[in-house]
Amino acid sequence: MAQKSKDRSNAPSRKNAADKRGYGDELHQLASDGHPLLTTNQGIPVADNQNSLRATPRGPTLLEDFILREKITHFDHERIPERIVHARGSGAHGYFELAKSLKKYTTARILTETGVRTPVFCRFSTVAGGAGSVDTPRDVRGFAVKFYTQEGNWDLVGNNIPVFFIQDAIKFPDLVHAVKMEPDRGFPQAASAHDNFWDFISLMPESMHMIMWAMSDRTIPRSLRMMEGFGIHSFRLLDAKGSSTFVKFHWRPKLGLQSTCWDEAVKIAGSDPDFHRRDLFEAIQRGDFPEWEFGVQLFTEEQAAQFPFDHLDPTKLIPEELVPVQIVGRMVLDRWPDNFFAETEQVAFCPANIVPGIDFSNDPLLQGRLFSYLDTQLTRLGGPNFHQIPVNAPKCPFANQQRDGHMQMSQPKGRVNYEPSSLQGDSPRATPAGYRSFAEPADDGAKGRIRAESFADHYSQARMFYRSQTGIEQAHIAFALVFELSKVETPTVRERVVGHLRHVDDDLAKRVAAGLGMHALPPVPPVAVKPIDMPPSPALQIIGKAKHLLEGRCVGILVDDGSDATTVRALRKAATDAGAMVKIVAPRIGGAKLSDNKGIAANGQLAGTPSVVFDAVAVVLSSAAGKALAKEAAAVDWVRDAYGHLKAIAFDEGAQPLLQAGGVAKDAGVLKAANVSAFLEAVATRQWDREPKLRTLA
C-alpha cells in the first residue's frame, strides 16, 4: 500500500513536467544515463522487463499483461519463410562507379554518367542449402547486386558461373527439387552428391556444360571476395533512338580468382561454418574493402547470328576470345549491414527491376525469372508492399496509384487513387521520357511448346570448358565427378552420366569410369546435334590466370612460450607490409611469452583455429615446444593439413620435430622462417607441384 501511495504522489509532478516539456522531452530525461528508453512497439515505457504480471507473487500470469503478449507474439513471428534457393547468404552495402561511358549504346544513366557513385547492396549466397547450412559446400554461388540508381532500382541477379543447368524456366522447379534434400529422408543438406540430383542430370543433357563448371574449383571458392560474377543472360542496351545492342554483364574480383581444395573445404565447414561470412565481415571491418571490376560484352544481332551457338541459350557462354570483356566501372563494398535480418534477409532481388536504357532478351530462362522472383517475394515478405522495406526502397523519388495491401507503410495523401484523373494537380502522371521496351520484330513461327533448334547442341561448350582448363583443374573436375557419383546408389544413373561425359571428353569419361570401378565404358547416348571442337578459352581457367599477390591472403603463425621474438615479428611485419593479414595462434588463447620475455597476444587457440582457415602458415617454436607439440594431435593436424592443402610453410629449427610428426617433406613451398622474402613469394600461390605426391586424383 505504501508503494501505491508513493506512485500516486509522483504522478502529478510527472504529468506537469510532461505538460511543460512535451512527452518526448520527458522520455529523453528518463534515458539520461545514455541508454535509450525501453518501450513497447507502441512507445509505452517498460518499467520491468524481467517479470510477467502475476495475480500474486506465486500466482498465475495475467492475460492483461500486454507487454508480455506483445513481446511473445512478436517473437513467435520472428522467422519469415526462407528463400527456396539462395537461402544461405551474406550481404554488404557499397557503391558502383562508372569509369567508361556507354552512351553510344544506352540511355541508362547508371551506364553513361562517369564518376558518379551509385549506392548498391550486394548479396552472395549458396544455392542448395538452407539458411542454417554451412558456407563452403560444393555449390554454385549467387551474386546479386541492387543498384539504387537515379532512375529507380536496377537488380543484376546472377551467379559466380556464367551459364545455367537448364534452358527453359519450366524446368526450374524440377532442378531445385532434384538438388535439394531428398523428400523421404531429409538429407543431404547443401550437397548435390545424391541419387535424385544425378538422376535428373543424367536425363538432361543440356545440363552437361553447367556440370563441368559445378564440378570445377569455381564452386569451392576461397572467399566471396575472390569470386567472379555473371549476369548469365543476354540483355539489351537501348540508345536514344531505340536501337539495340546485346550485352552480357561481368564482375571480376580485384583479388583475382582463388579456390580451396576439396578436403580443405570440408574441414573448413567443420571448423568454421561461417567462414565466408566472417571473411567478408572482417575484411570490411578492417578497411580492406572488397572490390570488383564491372565489365560488359557488347555484340549486335548480326554478330550473334554468326556465333556457333545461340546466345539466348542460358547453358551457353560467349568466349572472351570471341567477344572481349570491356571493363567500364567498379563496385566497392564498404559497409556491413546494421541488422542482418532487416537488410540481408529481407532484401528482395528481381531480374525484372531494370531502368530505362536496359531491356530483356528472349532467353526463355530469363523470361521465367521475370515472373518467378516477384511471385516469391510476395509470399516470403508478406505481401505487395515489400518494396517499402528500407533495403528494397528506391533512393530516388517514386510515386504511383498503387494503394493499401498487407503491411502498407506509406500514407498517400489526396482523394485521387486512379489515372487518368483531373481532380488533383500533384497526382503522378506517365511521361514520354519514361521506360520504353525494345520494339522487337515478331517471329514468323507458330505458337507452340517447342524449343529452337539452335538450342540443341548440349556438349560443344562443355567440351570447350573442360579442354580449356589446366591439367590440375581437369584432374579436380574428374575427382569431383568420381566423388559425387560414388554417393549415387543407382548404377544406371552413374552409367548414364559417364555416357554423357564421352561426348565431352573421352579421356575424362575413362578417368571417371576407372574411379568408379566400371569394367567398361557405357555406350555413348544419341545426340540431336553432333558436338564440335570449339577453340579453347584460357579465360575460363582459375589457376592459369591467378593473380600473384598477397593482398587478401591470411597467414597463421603458430607460437608458444620461448618462440624466437625476432623471427615472429619479422614474419608478421613483412606479411602485413605486403598486404596480407596475419593471425597469431598459440596453444592457449592468452598467447605466449616470446624469447625476449615479452608477451604476444593470440588471435586464436590452437585446437580451435586449424590451419584450414589460413592461406599459408609459419611455425616458430622453441626446441622444447617443438618436441612437446609433436605429441599434440591438434598441432600435428595443423601442419599436416597445411602441407596437404598445398600451402606455403615457414619453419625454424625448433619446429622441425612437429613438421616430422606431421609428415611434412621439404619442397619449394616449405622454407626456413629466416628466408622471409622467399616465404612471402610462396604465400602468393598454392604449391600445385606438391599435389601429385599427396593424393591420387581420378
Q: How far is CA 114 from CA 100, 156, 329, 357, in A?
A: 6, 19, 9, 16
Mean pLDDT of 341-363: 96
DSSP strand pairing (358-360 vs 235-238): antiparallel
Q: Are 568 and 595 in contact (CB under 8 A)?
A: no
CA neighbor of 54 nearest in space, from 69, 64, 46, 45: 64
> What's the pLDDT tens digit per position in 532-585?
999 999 999 999 888 999 999 999 999 999 999 999 999 999 999 999 999 999
> What's the pLDDT tens digit per position in 332-350?
999 999 999 999 999 999 9
Q: Are 276 and 124 in contact (CB under 8 A)?
A: yes
> What's the pLDDT tens digit per position in 24-82?
555 444 555 678 899 999 999 999 999 999 999 998 998 999 999 999 988 998 999 99
Instruction: List, by residue number, the catalytic residues.
Output: 86, 159
For 118-167, the DSSP string reads EEEEEEEEESSS-TTS-S-SS--EEEEEEEEETTEEEEEEEESSSS-S-S
70-79, 146-155, 450-459: which range is least confident on average? 70-79
The three cell numbers of residue 625 are 615446444
Q: Is the pLDDT of residue 19 over 90?
A: no
The three cell numbers of residue 26 are 520527458
Q: How far is CA 388 from CA 92, 381, 410, in A?
A: 19, 11, 8
**Chain centroid to CA 81:** 20
The three cell numbers of residue 33 are 544515463
Q: Is the pLDDT of residue 323 over 60?
A: yes
Tell me the backbone φ, ψ of residue 175, rounded to 5 degrees. Answer: -60, -50
Q: What is the pLDDT of residue 32?
A: 55
| Portion of the chain with pLDDT greater than 90, in percent | 83
Mean pLDDT of the chain: 93
CA neighbor of 646 nearest in space, from 614, 665, 669, 624: 669
Domains and CATH numbers, the chain: 1-37 (no CATH), 39-78 (4.10.91.20), 89-168+220-388 (2.40.180.10), 548-694 (3.40.50.880)
Q: How confident is the model at residue 1 (pLDDT cuts 50, 70, 90)?
A: very low
The three cell numbers of residue 470 are 589446366
Q: What angle do CA 413, 416, 420 make, to 5 degrees?
A: 140
Gap between the Cα atoms of 479 and 469, Å rounded: 14
Task: Indicate the helix (H) or strand (E) that contains 494.
Answer: helix 491-504
